[in-house]
A and B are shown apart, each in its own frame.
Chain A
């Protein structure tokens, strides 16, 4: 019985490799591959920008920096609610876990909503993915990021649903930590992209 319980415990939170649970290690390895993915995109951007700088408008001329700065702030807020969710379940507070997770999902979805509004405004003004190198790099970079945020929101909704069903406890909440890592990474990438795409 004891050995069975031990197996169950290992199954829940296996401590292997680099001294961290396997699912967390897996997420970190995935995130390192994501760093290279975005570096590839940013690398292409540098080549195109330096090679054909005439194609780019000055910062703020085409893109609405104010709206996006607010959106950046919104994404940072969602990272805070995510860490608050994690801190809540670390302290065994399942109620606050649910509230903070729900807040994260809503704020994350708002980011995507504002990005779609921005796209519709830009398209309305004739700035399309086919509008030269500026347009194609803008929509590629922000689009891939927006896709990541959308996937993140869906995953957080899944985790939230599980939290409402009592799926996480003070002892077992690896899922919250792992989706949190992904979510903060997406925030981190946006910090870089916002600077490169909108301000430079």
Chain B
């Protein structure tokens, strides 16, 4: 890892965040909100958790910009794919 990676993030804080978000997610799933609201809330929470893992556990936050771009690159075709599929049903 590059010297920038030596500054260790507070892993236990990230861990606590992930645990709390998971608990909120499981609770929110059974709160009886309207289905569309539940789906948006749950996907938002899952995306947040995924971002925490990528940024802090995978150290993406401290990587060179080029690697960040590489890591984010598949998200564009992935988003296009999911959006195009969803448009079939909207």
**A-side interface residues toward B, CB under 8 Å?**
18-20, 25, 28-29, 31-33, 35-36, 39-40, 42-43, 46-47, 50-51, 59-60, 65, 69, 72-73, 76-77, 79-80, 82-84, 87, 90, 177, 180-181, 184-185, 187-188, 191-192, 194-196, 199-200
* Known contacts A18-B66, A42-B82, A184-B57, A35 near B38 by CB under 8 Å: no
Do B8 and A177 have beta carbons less than 8 Å apart? no
Do B67 and A80 have beta carbons less than 8 Å apart? no
Do B74 and A36 have beta carbons less than 8 Å apart? yes
Q: Give the CA-CA distance A28 to B77 in the complex, in Å.
A: 17
Q: Give the CA-CA distance A31 to B15 in the complex, in Å.
A: 22
B residues within 8 A CB of A46?
A: 82, 85-86
Q: Give chain A nearest CB distance to B8 CB in angstroms.
A: 5
B residues within 8 A CB of A72?
A: 22
A-B contact pairs, 5 of them (CB 8 A): A20-B2, A39-B78, A50-B88, A177-B1, A184-B54
Number of B residues contacting the other chain (C-beta, 8 Å)?
A: 45
* Known contacts A46-B86, A65-B26, A199-B26, A18 near B81 by CB under 8 Å: no
Q: Give chain A nearest CB distance to B27 CB in angstroms.
A: 10
Closest residue to B66 on the A side, CB-wise?
A18
Q: Give the CA-CA distance A39 to B81 in the complex, in Å.
A: 8
Q: Give the CA-CA distance A60 to B27 in the complex, in Å.
A: 12
A residues within 8 A CB of B25?
A: 195, 199
Q: Give the CA-CA distance A197 to B18 in the complex, in Å.
A: 19
Do B39 and A84 have beta carbons less than 8 Å apart? no
* Known contacts A90-B6, A199-B25, A199-B26, A19 near B49 by CB under 8 Å: no
Do B67 and A18 have beta carbons less than 8 Å apart? yes
8 Å CB interface, B40-82 against A: 42-43, 45-46, 49-50, 53-54, 56-58, 63-64, 66-67, 70-71, 73-75, 77-78, 81-82
A residues within 8 A CB of B54?
A: 184, 188
